[in-house]
Every structure is written in C-alpha cells, then in structure tokens.
Amino acid sequence: MKKVIIAMVALLVVAGGSFGAFLAVKNKSDKETEKQVSELAENDLFSFDSETVTEISFDCPDGHYKVIHEDDNWKLDTNEFVVDQDYIDTLLYLVSDFTAETNYGVPDDNKKSMYGLDNPAETITISDGEETYKIYVGNITPTNDYYYFMVEGKDKVYTINSIQGSVLKASRMMLKAKDLIPYDSTGIKQITVKKDGVITYDITYDTETSTWSLPEEYSELPFDQTAVGSMLTTLTRLESEQLLEEYLEDMSKYGFDKPTAEVTIKGTDGTQKDFIIGGQGDNNQTYIYVLMKDSNQVARFYTSDLNFINYKPLNFLPDSVTSAGIYNINGFDFIFGDVQDSFTLNMTDRILEMNGTAVDMENSEIYTGFQNFYNSFSTIIFTDTDIEATPDNSDPVLTAIYHFDDSDDIKIDFVSAGDDKCYIFKDDVYTGGIVDMSRLTGKNSTQSFYNSFCERAGILRTVRSNPLAEEY
C-alpha cells in the first residue's frame, strides 16, 4: 500500500511539474503574441474610403502635380495632360487600407538620411475634404526588396515591398495617361494610315448607318464590319509599355525622321490624334517607338500591338464572297475558254439541266461534284486590291451570268491581270478586287472541278488542259 501511495505522489509531482512548465511556456508565448499584435497594430497606417477622396497632390523630383476628382474622372488641375486613371485607382487601392511590412522605429537624423527621409524625393498628400493623409517616400533598401517611408502623424520609419512601393514613386510619366488614343470604340470616326507619304488605307464611320467603309472608289467591294470591330477592340485598349521623353527635338533619335507609318485618328467629338511610328526599340523587334505629335511625347509600345499599321484595304474585305447563292438562282451561263454552257437549276428540289439535258442530281457523287464546280468560281477569295488599274473586260478569262426569278441577272468576269492574277468585274464594272488565277486553273480549280463533274455525270465535255494557253 505504501508503495502505491509513493507512486501516486510521484505521478502528481511529475504531473504538477509538467503543468507548471506548460503554464510558464504559455505565459511567455502570450506575452510575445501580445507584443507581435502590438507591433502589427503599429504598422496599420491608414484606413479610409477611397470613393470619398477628392484630390491628391504629388511632390516629385520633376514637379508638383495635383489631381482632382471631377465627373467620375481624375484630372490634372492645370489640364496640362490627361491623367492615368488606372494609376490613381491603383494608388488609392494600396493606401486606403495601408499596412506597412515592418517598422524600424523612431529614426535619428543619421538614419533618416540613410533612409532618404531627411528630404523625401516623393510626397503624396491625399484628401477627402475632411481628413488628410500624407506619405513621405524614401530610398529603396540595399537589396531592392523594400522602400522606406514615413507617414504624417507617426514618427517611425516603415517599409513596404518594392512592387507596391513603386506605386508610391510618383512622377510626371507615372501620372500621364498611357493610352495610345483617348477614344473608345464608339468614339472614332476615321482612321488614316500612311506609309512613305502614301495612304495605305482610310476607313470612315457613318454615324447615321453605324457602318464603316473604305473610300468611294472601293464601293464595288464588300466591306467586313467585323474586321474593324476586332481592330478597334485592340486599338482602343492600347497602352504604352513605357513613356519616354517629352518635347522631342531630334526626330532621328527614334527613327521618326524616316517613319514606319503615320497615323491620324479622328473622334466623333471633332478632335483628332496624330502620331508617328518610328523604328524598332530593340534588336528582337519586341518594341516600337511612337511619337504623339500634339505633345511630342515619345512612347514605347509592343510591336505586335500596333499591327493595324500594316493593314491594307484587303484586310477589310470578307475572307470570301459568294457571287450568287446556289439556292437563290434559277440558272446560270458559264463561259470558260472554249466551253460555253447554260444551266437551269432548282437546287432545293435537286433539279439540274445542262444545255437542255437533265442531270441526275439524286446521285450523291454528281450532286457533290456539281457543288464543288459551282463554288469554285462563285466563291471569290480576294488576294489584293488595285483601284489605280484601268482594265477592260472585252476578253475575260471566265464569265458567269447568274439568273434569278425576281431580280436582274448578275454578271461576273475574271480578266487576266498578268502575274497569275485576275481582275474581277461585276456587271461590266471593275470592282478593284484581284484574285489568284490558281482559282481557275490547276489542281482544285474551276477547270479540274468542271472536268470532274462532267465525268461523273457522263457528259462528254471538258475544259482543255490549259484554257488560258493563248494568253501566256
């Protein structure tokens, strides 16, 4: 029994010792936690509603700037330049609930100087009309990981990571809008691009019809509205990768003396923006320089973002155009080389006559062969435009005349343009469009599809191996 009591006492002693140690450790941990919480609380600097801010002042090495909130936008009080809305929004997002990474306590004069806070390079003052919040920005740490800063009303030095801190390093170029143009997709009326002093394309928006078009001389060609839409989506969102110098005098410095392109964009509000595209910004051609003519501001953009300067009128044409839908016609005449055929057609009921002879369109091979033949010349794929040419269609390579029940005939002529090209005429009027001759002769061409169709249908007709031989 005595041994049992001794053992129990021993256990209690052990247990008591362990519990006491636990209490000691816990007490120490609680004090450390309280200290950490207290220190973290000291790092909570600002907390305010960014929506209530009315003005922000920036004292920077390159000047003093004040931006004011007006009509749901941030504007420079002097209206000297357009303010970068995204930059102001980012700044307010950062400081409206502002917490430092660490604090270095109260500095003496030597430390203030070491931190760059004896005469701060940047000071940002934020006001909501009632309260004012001021931030003094110092140097970056030797490891480039943090920036030192102080705030008005507190006597300690704090740090913030360098990525966030870079937002506090305000400057004129940080404040300036980085947009290539100040318009949205509905605010542009005209875009003109020149290369070597010659207009490569000029498109205009009609506010009454809500459509874009090329100049009148291209009116015979179809216009693809979606091509402009996709271009504007990119164009109106473009921002420079970096703003460089202002008030440029030496035009050769960035290649503006021999520009890659010159661009004019007019807004529906009557304003316009002119800029010059200069040389490449690096050997890899990743960047390209742009000069805003109204301010002589040089900016660097990603080359791929400015691809619209390489567009031609061809870029605004549909990928393909159908001269006449196969289900919309009641027949057509086909003239190609020494072949002249007349077709009567009701595609819905699969009724076809060729030169007065019925063709079995219930036969799937014949049916498919006829479709391939018809599409080969009725589907026009433009490869270029040339409005300066003055061809005539007195001797076309191929002519197709489409007949309709309730409208006039449509006549399409393919006229040799040399260099394996053809001009396209519609109803004896030159459209300005050019197609490849390979659409007519060679493999997978009108010639091959015609011959294949006739063979499947058991029709003894063929386009000779080179119906254009006399022209070459």
HEC profile of 267-304: ECCCCEEEEEEEEECCCCCCEEEEEECCCCEEEEEEHH
Do residues 248 and 254 make contact, with C-beta atoms less than 8 angstroms apart? yes
pLDDT tens per residue across span 244-298: 999 898 999 999 999 999 999 999 999 999 999 998 766 668 999 999 998 889 9
Token pair 């009567």 is found at 344
What are the tokens at 326?
């196969």
pLDDT tens per residue across span 396-425: 999 999 999 999 999 999 999 999 999 999
Confidence of residue 469 (pLDDT cuts 50, 70, 90): very low
| Segments of 51-197 assigned E as strands | 55-60, 63-70, 73-76, 97-99, 102-103, 122-127, 132-140, 146-151, 158-161, 188-195
DSSP conformation class of 350? T
Confidence of residue 162 (pLDDT cuts 50, 70, 90): very high
What are the tokens at 102?
């660490």
Q: Which amino acid is at 373?
A: F
Do residues 449 and 457 make contact, with C-beta atoms less than 8 angstroms apart? no
pLDDT tens per residue across span 46-86: 999 999 999 999 999 999 999 999 999 999 999 999 999 99
Distance CA 153, CA 45 (A): 10
**Is the pLDDT confidence value at 26 over 80?**
no
pLDDT tens per residue across span 201-248: 999 999 999 999 999 999 999 999 999 999 999 999 999 999 999 989
**Residue (of 87, 29, 28) closest to 56 by Cα position:** 87
